């Protein structure tokens, strides 16, 4: 048996994640992923008005907000058979697209980049050579002159001289597996700071039709409520902010991926993990019939076979709790429509129960979800923009599509997806403008709420496949279940011992120094975990669940 090492908590993620690894001869032999806080949303949604669920569920997280709001209103609309107006579909697509652009840029620069970039090394960079490097990847790169990089270097030196690194604290600087030259590190640090400023741009874009960011206010069962924002000035402002964000993706984000990847091509063979990839699809087109109208395809890749995309049968989704801190009143895994959320904490025992995450399966199989899954399903489906952009990136790197099944592929897929979505968003803007010019301002249809109904809403969060299931009885929520991306990827083994994506992806990873587990962070961060969506708070000593009321 190898040595056991625990990383708790994993930082630069949303929520609380514990990773335990077993290392033998410098390689990870086994791994265990534990979500260490409990989520109680399914419990306290019971008895509420179904039309209020979207407001509550988006507060499961401060990052994945819009996506839960969308899955929730779709679940209720599916249950009652309501078709929303075309303008509402378009506006929801624009809000969702903005969420993706914001999320992917933040993930790469502020959560994941420091796994590849040695910030302290940038202090020895030559600003002139850094400028030459940046312009070699893109002559349109903003703020890429020698003076620009000299100012960033001086700012960084001030951080270090002051005895702290500010936003760059807690990195594994000087780690033997950091491979970028100083000039590439300085370029990346500069773009890290640029991306901080861009967060404000995409947040403002999100708020134009969503009213605020995070936790939008303008969704509703039946459509959207932002009719006062459908004027030329607001739409022009949206277009301006969209173009600024797209310029950053084209001239900074994608070029940075292409600049960093050649130094880490060994990671194109590390962190692949599972062989099955699931995507629910998103961005409905006119008519709204799913999955046929979805611009991003719904499907499953099995056994890494890109020659065939299998259709998704929602009835085949189950959740197992064999190794989770829950108990079921029935035997075996349950479909989310009849799911139960009964906490049963026993302590961390990696051979028994060790996580608050349930274990989702599709037809009994473990599946990875997320940007890589979406890009693979689109690529194998012949999705024109996805195919063109993936082939362009692969061509620039001189590699084939087999490298996508890896930590590096997962990271690159997110950047490609940002490009694909950003380019499409102007089409939706033009659709909206065309409808308004025809005098069509309908954005909401009043729902007729039945006493009893059941339904589900499927969409894609930036982190992967997201589903909400609802059962309505006596006009109230009788049962509600969320199956979120990190539940798919970060869950413990199922009853048959089958690992989920986090655990599987870590197997076989070389570890240079277990006391500085940089390699673990690279793969885990490539999934962009969100444990807040997956788990929440329970008192482990008393089993008490806490009720918090906001009063005026």
Q: Is the dihedral of CA 242, 243, 249, 252 positive or negative?
A: negative
Q: What is the pLDDT of residue 543?
A: 45
Does the structure show a pLDDT above 90 at 319? Answer: yes
Distances (CA, A) of 194 to 142, 164, 188: 10, 20, 10
Q: What is the pLDDT of residue 168?
A: 76
In the three-class reduction of DSSP (H, G, I as helix; E, B as strand; rest coil), residue 223 is classed as: strand
Average pLDDT of 264-280? 97
Q: What is the pLDDT of residue 551?
A: 32
Distances (CA, A) of 464 to 67, 255, 275, 489: 10, 24, 16, 9
Does the structure show a pLDDT above 60 at 284? Answer: yes
Helix-helix angle 182-210:86-106, to 10 degrees: 160
pLDDT in tens, 453-467: 999 999 999 999 999
Q: Give the distance between the most distant pair of CA atoms in the chain.
A: 71
Q: What is the pLDDT of residue 532?
A: 73
Q: Return the percent helix, strand and coil in the chain, to nearest 5.
A: 45, 15, 40
Does the structure show a pLDDT above 80 at 547? Answer: no
Q: How many CB atoms lie within 10 A of CB 240?
A: 13
CATH 1.10.645.10 fits 3-534, yes or no: yes
Contact 407, 269 (CB under 8 A): no
Q: What is the pLDDT of residue 237?
A: 98
Provide CB contacts within 8 A for 549, sequence distance 6+: none
For the ranges 140-149, 346-355, 496-505, 512-521, the lowest mean pLDDT is seen at 140-149
- R_g (Cα) of the chain, nearest Å: 23
For the ranges 42-46, 162-166, 303-307, 319-323, the lowest mean pLDDT is seen at 162-166
pLDDT-derived band at 38 (thresholds 50, 70, 90) equals confident
Peptide bond into 214 cis (omega under 30): yes
Average pLDDT of 392-416? 96
Cα gap 440→434, rounded to integer Å: 9
Cα gap 56→206, rounded to integer Å: 19
pLDDT in tens, 357-386: 999 999 999 999 999 999 999 999 999 999
In the three-class reduction of DSSP (H, G, I as helix; E, B as strand; rest coil), residue 277 is classed as: strand
Nearest to 385 by CA among 295, 308, 302: 295
47: its two tokens: 């008895």
Average pLDDT of 426-433? 98
Cα gap 57→40, rounded to integer Å: 11
Q: What is the pLDDT of residue 540?
A: 42
H, E, C per residue of 422-454: HHHHHHHHHHHHHHHHCCCCCCECCCCCCCCEE
pLDDT-derived band at 39 (thresholds 50, 70, 90) equals low
Cα gap 477→44, rounded to integer Å: 10
Average pLDDT of 317-328? 96
Domain boundaries, the chain: 3-534
Does the structure show a pLDDT above 70 at 550? Answer: no
Q: What is the pLDDT of residue 12?
A: 87
Backbone dihedral angles phi then psi of residue 105, each to the nearest 5 degrees? -65, -45
pLDDT in tens, 107-153: 999 999 999 999 999 999 999 999 999 999 888 888 889 999 999 99
Does the structure show a pLDDT above 50 at 236? Answer: yes
Query: What predicted TM-score, i.e. pTM, was given to this entire model?
Result: 0.94
Q: What is the pLDDT of residue 476?
A: 97
Does the structure show a pLDDT above 80 at 535? Answer: no
317: its two tokens: 């989704």
Cα gap 209→242, rounded to integer Å: 13
Percentage of the chain surpassing pLDDT 90? Answer: 85
Provide CB contacts within 8 A for 465, sequence distance 6+: 278, 279, 280, 369, 373, 458, 483, 485, 488
Provide CB contacts within 8 A for 354, sequence distance 6+: 32, 34, 323, 348, 492
Cα gap 120→100, rounded to integer Å: 30
Does the structure show a pLDDT above 80 at 536? Answer: no
pLDDT-derived band at 544 (thresholds 50, 70, 90) equals very low
Cα gap 194→207, rounded to integer Å: 21
Percentage of the chain surpassing pLDDT 70? Answer: 96
∠ CA 524-529-533, rounded to 5°: 160
Q: What is the pLDDT of residue 210?
A: 97
Cα gap 494→481, rounded to integer Å: 19
Contact 323, 6 (CB under 8 A): no
Q: Is the dihedral of CA 284, 285, 289, 292 positive or negative?
A: negative
């Amino acid at each position: 048996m190898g040595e056991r090492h625990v990383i708790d908590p994993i930082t630069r993620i949303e929520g609380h994640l514990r990773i335990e690894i077993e290392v033998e001869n410098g390689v990870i032999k086994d791994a265990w992923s534990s979500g260490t806080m409990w989520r109680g949303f399914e419990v306290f949604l019971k008895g509420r008005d179904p039309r209020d669920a979207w407001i509550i569920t988006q507060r499961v997280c401060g990052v994945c907000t819009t996506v839960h709001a969308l899955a929730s209103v779709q679940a209720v609309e599916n249950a009652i058979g309501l078709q929303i107006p075309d303008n509402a579909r378009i506006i929801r697509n624009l809000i969702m697209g903005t969420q993706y652009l914001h999320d992917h840029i933040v993930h790469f620069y502020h959560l994941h980049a420091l796994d590849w970039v040695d910030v302290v090394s940038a202090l020895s960079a030559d600003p002139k050579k850094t400028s030459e490097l940046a312009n070699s990847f893109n002559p349109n790169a903003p703020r890429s002159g020698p003076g620009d990089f000299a100012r960033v270097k001086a700012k960084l030196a001030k951080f270090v001289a002051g005895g702290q690194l500010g936003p760059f604290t807690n990195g594994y600087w000087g780690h033997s597996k950091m491979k970028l030259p100083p000039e590439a590190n300085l370029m990346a640090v500069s773009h890290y700071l640029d991306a901080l400023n861009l967060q404000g741009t995409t947040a403002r874009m999100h708020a134009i039709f969503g009213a605020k960011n995070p936790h939008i206010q303008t969704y509703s069962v039946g459509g959207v409520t932002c009719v006062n924002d459908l004027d030329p000035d607001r739409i022009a402002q949206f277009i301006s902010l969209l173009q600024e964000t797209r310029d950053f993706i084209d001239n900074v984000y994608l070029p940075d991926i292409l600049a960093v990847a050649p130094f880490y091509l060994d990671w194109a063979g590390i962190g692949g993990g599972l062989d099955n990839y699931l995507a629910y699809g998103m961005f409905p087109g006119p008519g709204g019939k799913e999955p046929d109208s979805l611009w991003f395809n719904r499907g499953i890749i099995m056994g890494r076979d890109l020659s065939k995309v299998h259709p998704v049968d929602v009835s085949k989704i189950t959740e197992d709790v064999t190794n989770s801190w829950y108990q079921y009143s029935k035997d075996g895994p349950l479909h989310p429509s009849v799911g139960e959320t009964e906490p049963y904490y026993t302590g961390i025992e990696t051979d028994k129960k060790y996580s608050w995450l349930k274990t989702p399966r599709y037809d009994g199989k473990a599946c990875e979800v997320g940007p890589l899954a979406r890009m693979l399903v689109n690529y194998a489906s012949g999705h024109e923009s996805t195919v063109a952009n993936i082939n362009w990136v692969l061509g620039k790197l001189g590699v084939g599509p087999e490298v996508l099944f890896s930590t590096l592929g997962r990271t690159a897929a997110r950047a490609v997806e940002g490009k694909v979505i950003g380019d499409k968003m102007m089409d939706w803007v033009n659709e909206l403008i065309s409808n308004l010019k025809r005098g069509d301002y309908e954005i909401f249809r009043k729902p007729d709420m039945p006493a009893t109904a059941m339904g589900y809403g499927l969409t894609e969060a930036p982190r992967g496949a997201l589903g909400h299931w609802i059962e309505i009885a006596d006009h109230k929520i009788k049962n509600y279940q969320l199956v979120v991306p990190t539940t798919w990827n970060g869950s413990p083994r199922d009853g048959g011992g089958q690992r989920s994506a986090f655990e599987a992806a870590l197997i076989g990873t070389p570890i240079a120094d277990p006391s500085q587990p940089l390699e673990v962070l690279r793969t885990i961060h490539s999934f962009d975990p969100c444990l807040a969506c997956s788990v929440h708070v329970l008192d482990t000593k008393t089993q008490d669940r806490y009720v918090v009321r906001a009063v005026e």
